Copies of this chain bind each other. A is one copy, B any other.
Amino acid sequence: MSSRGVRHDSMRARNLAVVLATIHRSGPHTRAALAERTGLTKTTVSSLVADLIEAGVVTESGAVRGGERGRPGVAVSLSGHRVAALGLEINIDYLAACVVDLTREVRLRRVRPADNRNSDPARILEGLRDLVKEVTAEAEADGLRLAGAALAVPGTVEGGVLRSAPHLGWRDVRVADLVDPPFAIDNEANLAALGELWFGSRQPDFLYVSGEIGIGAGLVVEGTVFRGTFGLAGELGHVVVVPDGPVCRCGGRGCLEVYAGQDALLGELASVGELVARLESGDGRAVRACERAGHALGVALTSAVHLLDPGEIVLGGIFAPLFRWLEGPVSEGLRARLGQMRGAPPALAVSGTGGDAAVLGAAGLIIQQILAEPARLLDL
């Protein structure tokens, strides 16, 4: 609980957010419908909507007839023409950026291939800065105002500081400070979960499992990402599957990653595409690797379901193209192990976003912030 008292302007800020959230959640509304939904009076809603229009987050979008009789209302809907969010991602082999407007339309996408393994943070951040400049200029030329930016990184983040990104070879990098204006940073898996929420037409409760070189997970409960105490929650890749199994790069033993990480799945194959090809041709070794991974995932997800209680489980990253082969072993494992503890195990689904859930989710985080505090756009 914030310990600051609230004043008149906080009340208005809150009401602006309530009206905007209603439009966002349930589509265009007339002012009258908004008044009914929010419990505010028509007068107040009119005044709030006027402010939201001025802030550029909503527009009037034509007449609607409510019942059969009476004066038709004017629909107020989210506006995609003024305000947008910038999503960024640093990953092992690329930098990516995207611009998403308030209607969730992806307005711009940029991917720059790069080899960032064991790289120098300063050099990569220089490249990121360039990318930001380029994309910002293009967005502004499009008439968009970028209300904020967020960055996805393949590592653990604590209070805006990148603590450890083993594959990049980075430790304790204060990424946010190096770019102006400073932006939000979060773990790839957390943001991919948000990406799934915003762009994969998901229900607001699920566990997104991100298969990359490592395996991460982001839990979304009631539309927000659960981060734990230090922001380190969701490290599904190191859940114990076999207590005295092979040593993992984390120092533990028998972690999920050992059985279902990219390296374990691909073996000597060069890419996921190749693995899929082998699977389709019924190659025994590939099928066995996939079954082993599915089995391990079933075990780890059983623990995860007991501890996190997700509404649904979504497989993303490299698990998405492999879903056909993973689904069976994973869901059987869950069903058998969860037993009578719950009615039925959470449903298993494929990720609805393409490979770029994380960048999109980064933009989604900013959109979430805008929707939560539209008043900030008015102060500037």
What 10 A-B pairs come out closest when comparing CB atoms?
Answer: A251-B339, A228-B309, A5-B40, A233-B309, A235-B306, A229-B311, A5-B38, A252-B337, A205-B229, A232-B309
User: Assuming A236-B306, A300-B303, what are 10 further A-B pairs, CB within 8 angstroms?
Assistant: A3-B18, A3-B22, A3-B25, A3-B38, A5-B18, A229-B309, A235-B341, A239-B302, A303-B303, A307-B308
Q: Given A303-B303, A307-B233, A242 and B243 touching (CB < 8 A)?
A: yes
Query: Which chain B positions have C-beta within 8 A of A49?
Result: none
Which of B6, B11, B231, B240 makes the CB contact (< 8 A) with A303? B240
**Residue A271 at the chain B interface, CB threshold 8 Å:** no
Contact residues of A: prevailing secondary structure: mixed
Q: How far is the CA of A229 from the CA of B309 in the complex (A)?
A: 6
Chain A positions near chain B (C-beta within 8 angstroms): 1-8, 10-11, 14-15, 17-19, 21-22, 25, 37-40, 44, 156, 164, 205, 217, 221, 226-243, 248, 250-253, 299-300, 302-304, 306-311, 336-342, 372
Do the beta carbons of A5 and B10 come within 8 Å of each other? no
What's the nearest-Cβ distance from chain B to residue A3, in Å?
Answer: 6
Do the beta carbons of A228 and B232 come within 8 Å of each other? no
Q: How far is the CA of A311 from the CA of B205 in the complex (A)?
A: 24
Q: How far is the CA of A44 from the CA of B227 in the complex (A)?
A: 36
Do the beta carbons of A307 and B239 come within 8 Å of each other? yes
Most buried by B among A164, A205, A226: A226
Do the beta carbons of A18 and B39 come within 8 Å of each other? no
